[in-house]
Every structure is written in C-alpha cells, then in structure tokens.
Chains A and B, each alone.
Chain A
C-alpha cells in the first residue's frame, strides 16, 4: 500500500517537476514533506510494536516497565546489594552429590558459586553461614511476603564474567546452555516489607539471599530479604522441601 502511494506520488511529482520548472524547489519541498508525514504515520502506528521505549526519569538503568515483563531484575538487585553485608548458605555440592540427586555435574560448579560471585560483584560483603543450610522460604511466606522481581536466568547466565573457572566450565557457551537450555525459568524474589526493626531491604545493612535447596530440581529461585526478617520468620521455621 505504501509502495503504491509513494510511486504514485513520485510519478505526479516528476511530471510536475518537468512541466513546472519555476516551482521546482517548492514541489520538491512538498514531496519530501509528504514523505515525512508518511514516516510519522508509520512511526506512530508501528514503532511501539517493534521496540519498547522507556523514559528514564529515574536516572537508573532499572525502569518500572521491566517489572511487568520480569526483565533485568539484576539491574535493581545490584543496587540493593551494594555496600551491604549479605548472608548466604554454605552448601556447595560435590560432583557425586549432584549426580546422586539426578542433577547435571555442572550444577556442582555453578550452585552457590554464581550467586556468591554475583553478590560480591554487586559490591556486597558476602558471609557464608552453614547454619543457614537447609532453611527455605515456605510457600506461605512466599505468597504473603515476597514478590517476583523477574526472570533470573540471564542474570546467572552472565555471571561467567565473574567466574574463575577455566576453559569449558567458565565459558559463555556452557553458561548459556545451562541457564538458557538446560534449566527452565528461575526467578528472583524480594521482600519489600518492613521487618521487626522497621527496616526493609533498601534500608537494612544486613541482608540474606536464600536459594531453593531442592533434592530433585536444579532450578533454584533466589529470595532476598533483610537478616532480621530471615531470623524472625525463616530460620526458626522451615526445613528443606
């Protein structure tokens, strides 16, 4: 349709240009202005379908539009973790242990390590606490107190930049395969409510990152909360699921 319109317009313009040379510059100006209008019509109708746009009023990479699509949760998480003390489980797996649970051997290399690397890279001081091993966010707590920030597959996929593994285990392709092909969706959840000290994760100096510790599934969501919330509601509550 646009092709026919432009060809017809061009044909008319060419005829007029040849017949009315004294109006040449005005005719060309008019022709181009019509093309500009055509551009604007197409932009208005289609551009938002092709690419999403954001107005970065927040001065931050994270845009609230990401929440709806579950995109780039790490761009917000890295801000939340910066300069904080972050407590994590200390439950690294061996290869045999991973295989015994039916998990890929790569799990033993990536489990815990990538999450710790990510937190340290974000500027957090990471403290591994084995007394946290086995603790988990219950379904009820998850439903009432946590909200899904977004997909974490890409967040972990790109932690290859932060790792110290050599050759195949540390390269982009293994990470891509594991987090993009091998695992299904994994998510980052955050607790934005105030804890018993009246602080939320933006205010508290000490945070906790928990991951799922399933003996059957490799997919591990991560959950970010204040340490106070964790001590009050998780440590004394839940066991492995």
Chain B
C-alpha cells in the first residue's frame, strides 16, 4: 500500500510545490513593500529580514478582522484588506513626507520615500527570497507532526475556510487555540496546496538569518571588527541551531515556533528603534512603531497566553527610551484585537464549554491588566521617579509576587508543576544538553565577573529572559491542571519559546566578557 500511496501523492507534488512557493514569495514581496515604503529606520538588510514576518502578520490580521466582525472569511476579502492596508500605510507615509517637503515636490517625495532603495537591491533581495522559498518548500528540511499539528492547525484552519465564520460549534478551539497560527494554516486551503511546512521552514530560515544579523550587529558595534563579529555571530547561531529545544520547537508544526520567533524579533527590534546611529537623535519616531505594532500584535493572536506575555513585554519596553504615546501605539492594537475577540466569543457567541483555557473570568482579568498597563503608559510613566528608575526590578518583583500568590493559592498544584518543569528539563523533555550548557555558561560569566570585580546588573535582555521564565511558571499554573512530563506538555512548550532569548542573552554577556576593555580601547 505504501507504493500505491506514494504514487497517488506524487500526482499532486508539482502543483502543490509551485503554489506554496509562490504564496511564500508573494507574502514576502508584500511585506517587503511595506517595509520599504514605511521606512522604519531599519537598514536594508533588516527590511528584507522583516519582510516575511510583516507579510504574514498582515495576512493574519486581515483574516482575524474578517472573522471577528463576521464579514465573511474568504481569500478574496483577505487579499482586498491586505492591499487596502498597504495603500493606507503608503498614503500615510507619503503624507508625512509631503508635510516635511512641502507641496509640488512630487519627484523629491518619491526619492525621499525610496531613498537607499535601488533596483539592484530589490532584485537581489527578491531573488534570494524566491530561491529560499524554493529550498524551503522542497521537503529537504524535516518537520515534526503531532495531533495538534493536524487537528488544530490544519483541520481547524480548513473549517474556517469552508464555513467562513467563527462558529459556536468550534467550541473549545475558540478558547484554547490562538487564531494566529490557525490563520497561517488557512493558506494551503485557500491557495490550493496541502500543508504549510514550506511556510514554516521559510520562516525558520528567515529567523535564523535575523538572529545571525542581530548577533553580528551586537559585536560589530563594540569592536568594529567584521571578522570577529562574523565568528562570534556564527558561533552563537550554531549554538542555537544545535540546541535540542530549538530543533524540536522549530520543526514542530505548532504555534510555538511562530510565537518564539515573533517574540524574539519584537524584543530585538525594540532597543533598535531607540538606538543611536539612526541619525535622528536618540528617540524612536512615531512612524517606526507602526511596523513594530503589526509584528507585536501577533503575540496576542498566536497563543492564548500571548496577551499576558504581551503585557509583560510592554512593561519591559517601558524601561527603554520610548515616548508614552509610542508605547501605547504599539500596545493599543493588541489590546483592541484581544478585546474584540473576547467580546465575540464570550458575549456575542456565548461560548460556555465545561473546561477551557481562556474563561470569561480570565478574559476579564486580562482586560483589566491591559487597561492598567495602558493607564500606566499614558498617565503615570514619567511622573514617578521611583517607578521610572526601578521598573525592571519592579517587573521581576511583581512576577515573583504573582508566583508567591499562586503558590499560596494552591501549593500542591504549584509545586507539582515546578517538579514537572524540572523533570522535563532534565529527562527527555526535549531539552538535551541545553540546560546544563546554560548553567555552565552562566557559571563562567558570574565567576569571571566576580573575580574581575565586574559590576553585575540586569540589562534589557536579562530582564526579558528572566521575566519570561518566571512568567512561564505563572502562565502554566493558569491552565488549572497539573503539567505532564512530556515534550508536548503546554508548560514545557511555553518554556521552549524562550530558547533564542536565552541564547542571545548569554551571547551578549559572553561577548562582553570576550571583548575586554583593552580590546575595545584598541578598536576605537
């Protein structure tokens, strides 16, 4: 029968391959166009690397909008919305430029919008994207498939395409499955292929390039040496690629991989937006937050605990030199989308299944927390010196306090979950040698730092990584039942999402350790 099945599947091979490759390429081009026109201040390499995540985000957001407002979920309407969004964003951009140049400056306006963008650059990037899409879709890269991969991110996606609406009959899928990854799973059903493995692989390849580029940039800024930066970033990327949790998470057809990669992209972009060297001073510009916001919303949509993680990240971003309005601009869309979804399923559809991850009570609590953060950003931040100076410490203390409260609330469940986390980390939970490597690297950094009397303080990435790990324990508690000793356990997968952050945070410290003051002085 195996031969018969292979022969049967072979007849679809070419058509599905071409369709999936073209869909990847077109989404890439769409995101590329947005990144070029909207000029986030990113350099040309970054514009190319952010293109696909941006394109996917806009596809997901368009579909989400149609579903939440019950406007009919069809491929045509999604494409229409995406084009409309692109035109609106382009229009806004041209208006900004026109405002700064004055009227009657048509040609200068176009030059201003497309400065640093040459035809050669566009052709090179597009060709590279097409080639990568072909390679990603060929089937050379393995994937891992579980029940959730098929039923949540293929069958549920197919149901959305077929019925075109959010139905009450979807039941716990509405409260337990983030629509973001489900929406990505609609691409095969709308555009005539059968699976989204090529899309997943392309995203991974794009992400690996992004990680490498971030790592390269970090050492290059400190040493000025390209060769040193290349070696360091290559080693860091290799460490990430060889880590068992990253291999498993990146190949597993689930929402976790998308969440992991979007989270790292957003966390890395935030300090970039306010970094020196943009030529615009030390503050981010409002328009830069649009693309950032488009990417940041995905975190709320990809996973049900994503909203809580978004709340945490916004507070971390508030430790950077953003204006209050800029942070609100990044956060408000995520708040809106989540609130609209909660209203849709709990009030309009009256979903009431016996056991769900997202309950009405949790949705209200989430909403209050989002509101609290918005109030803080708009009315409190910048007014209380203690809070502004110690926000990092307050975040960690707050997360620790939440964990203490949960421990008091249900000691048995809390301790059982911690035990399971430990067992998964140490025994076939998909972590391999990663935990012990992390411990070794940390010991090295701390020991050398102690002997050399280096000042130990939490930097931005330390805050994100440590905070995320503590938050993972709390979020897993919210599931309500004991975690399981299994690589597929939801708590374990939430923790897996932190791997690129952990690797990058350690990389920063190791780089600082390796690049001693003497070397930095020499390079300057």
A contact set with B: CB distance below 8 Å? 2-3, 6-7, 9-10, 13-14, 17-18, 21, 24-25, 28-29, 31-33, 35-36, 38-43, 46-47, 49-64, 67, 72, 74-76, 79-80, 121, 147, 149, 154, 158, 160-166, 170-173, 190, 192, 200, 202
Closest B residue to A24 by beta carbon equals B514
The smallest C-beta distance from B517 to any residue of chain A, in angstroms, reads 11
How many angstroms from the CA of A173 to the CA of B172 in the assembled complex?
9
Q: In the complex, are the beta carbons of A59 and B17 less than 8 A apart? A: yes
* 17 pairs, A vs B, C-beta closer than 8 Å: A10-B443, A17-B513, A38-B433, A39-B242, A39-B437, A43-B432, A47-B247, A49-B428, A53-B144, A55-B142, A56-B195, A58-B12, A60-B12, A61-B150, A160-B171, A161-B170, A171-B353
User: When each residue 1-16 of chain B gets 1 if its CB lies under 8 Å from chain A and 0 otherwise, what string results?
Assistant: 1101110111111001
How many angstroms from the CA of A24 to the CA of B154 in the assembled complex?
50
- Known A46-B428, A192-B4; judge A35-B448 contact (CB<8 A): no
Q: In the complex, are the beta carbons of A42 and B432 less than 8 A apart? A: yes
Q: CB within 8 Å of A: which of B1-56? A: 1-2, 4-6, 8-13, 16-17, 20
Q: For chain B, what secondary structure do more than half of its interface residues adopt (helix, strand, loop), or is it mixed?
A: helix
Q: CB-CB < 8 A to A47: which residues of B?
A: 244, 247-248, 432
Instruction: Indicate which residue in B137, B228, B513 contacts A24 across the interface (CB closer than 8 Å).
Output: B513
Closest B residue to A202 by beta carbon equals B8
Q: In the complex, are the beta carbons of A52 and B451 less than 8 A apart? A: no
How many angstroms from the CA of A192 to the CA of B7 in the assembled complex?
11
Count of A-B contacts judged by CB separation below 8 Å: 208
User: When each residue 398-438 of chain B gets 1 if its CB lies under 8 Å from chain A and 0 otherwise, what string results?
Assistant: 00000000000000000000000000000010101110110
Q: CB within 8 Å of A: which of B223-238? A: 228, 231, 235, 238
B516 located at the interface, meaning its Cβ lies under 8 Å from any Cβ of chain A in the complex:
yes
Closest 4 CB pairs of A and B: A57-B139, A59-B16, A39-B242, A53-B142
Closest B residue to A67 by beta carbon equals B2
How many angstroms from the CA of A172 to the CA of B154 in the assembled complex?
17
B243 located at the interface, meaning its Cβ lies under 8 Å from any Cβ of chain A in the complex:
yes
User: When each residue 481-508 of chain B gets 1 if its CB lies under 8 Å from chain A and 0 otherwise, what string results?
Assistant: 0000001000000000000000000000
B145 located at the interface, meaning its Cβ lies under 8 Å from any Cβ of chain A in the complex:
yes
Q: CB-CB < 8 A to A192: which residues of B?
A: 1, 4
Q: In the complex, are the beta carbons of B169 and A14 less than 8 A apart? A: no
Q: In the complex, are the beta carbons of B228 and A25 less than 8 A apart? A: yes
Q: Which of B57-65, B81-89, B101-109, B155-163 contacts A (4 or more CB under 8 A)?
A: B155-163
Given contact pairs A56-B197, A58-B6, A162-B159, a sample of 10 additional A-B residue pairs in the complex whose CB atoms are under 8 Å apart: A6-B433, A40-B242, A46-B428, A49-B428, A50-B487, A54-B144, A59-B17, A59-B195, A173-B353, A173-B354
- Known A59-B12, A59-B193; judge A28-B440 contact (CB<8 A): no
The smallest C-beta distance from B395 to any residue of chain A, in angstroms, reads 30
Instruction: Indicate which residue in B4, B8, B139, B159 contacts A55 across the interface (CB closer than 8 Å).
Output: B139
Q: For chain A, what secondary structure do more than half of its interface residues adopt (helix, strand, loop), or is it mixed?
A: helix
Q: In the complex, are the beta carbons of B143 and A54 less than 8 A apart? A: yes
Closest A residue to B428 by beta carbon equals A50
- Known A36-B242, A62-B9; judge A172-B437 contact (CB<8 A): no
Q: In the complex, are the beta carbons of A32 and B510 less than 8 A apart? A: yes
How many angstroms from the CA of A211 to the CA of B444 in the assembled complex?
64
The smallest C-beta distance from A37 to any residue of chain B, in angstroms, reads 8
Q: In the complex, are the beta carbons of B353 and A158 less than 8 A apart? A: no
The smallest C-beta distance from B212 to any residue of chain A, in angstroms, reads 15
Q: In the complex, are the beta carbons of B193 and A46 less than 8 A apart? A: no
Q: In the complex, are the beta carbons of B171 and A170 less than 8 A apart? A: yes
B contact set with A: CB distance below 8 Å? 1-2, 4-6, 8-13, 16-17, 20, 137-147, 150-151, 154-156, 158-159, 162, 168-173, 193-195, 197, 228, 231, 235, 238-239, 242-244, 247-248, 251-252, 353-355, 428, 430, 432-434, 436-437, 439-441, 443-444, 447-448, 451-452, 487, 510, 513-516, 519
Q: CB-CB < 8 A to B9: which residues of A?
A: 58-60, 62
Q: CB-CB < 8 A to A38: which residues of B?
A: 433, 437
Instruction: Indicate which residue in A2, A43, A49, A58 contacts B139 across the interface (CB closer than 8 Å).
Output: A58
Q: In the complex, are the beta carbons of B487 and A67 less than 8 A apart? A: no
Q: In the complex, are the beta carbons of B247 and A43 less than 8 A apart? A: yes
Closest A residue to B239 by beta carbon equals A36
A31, A53, A58, A154 interface centre (most CB from chain B within 10 Å): A58
How many angstroms from the CA of A192 to the CA of B155 in the assembled complex?
25
Q: In the complex, are the beta carbons of A39 and B443 less than 8 A apart? A: no
Q: In the complex, are the beta carbons of A60 and B194 less than 8 A apart? A: yes
The smallest C-beta distance from A193 to any residue of chain B, in angstroms, reads 9
Q: In the complex, are the beta carbons of A147 and B242 less than 8 A apart? A: no
Q: CB-CB < 8 A to A6: which residues of B?
A: 433, 436-437, 439-440
Q: In the complex, are the beta carbons of A51 and B354 less than 8 A apart? A: no
Q: CB-CB < 8 A to A200: which residues of B?
A: 4
- Known A18-B448, A158-B151; judge A60-B16 contact (CB<8 A): yes
How many angstroms from the CA of A161 to the CA of B282 in the assembled complex?
51
Q: In the complex, are the beta carbons of B139 and A36 less than 8 A apart? A: no
Q: CB-CB < 8 A to B437: which residues of A?
A: 6, 35, 38-39
Q: CB-CB < 8 A to A62: which residues of B?
A: 5, 9
The smallest C-beta distance from B199 to any residue of chain A, in angstroms, reads 12
Q: In the complex, are the beta carbons of B10 and A18 less than 8 A apart? A: no
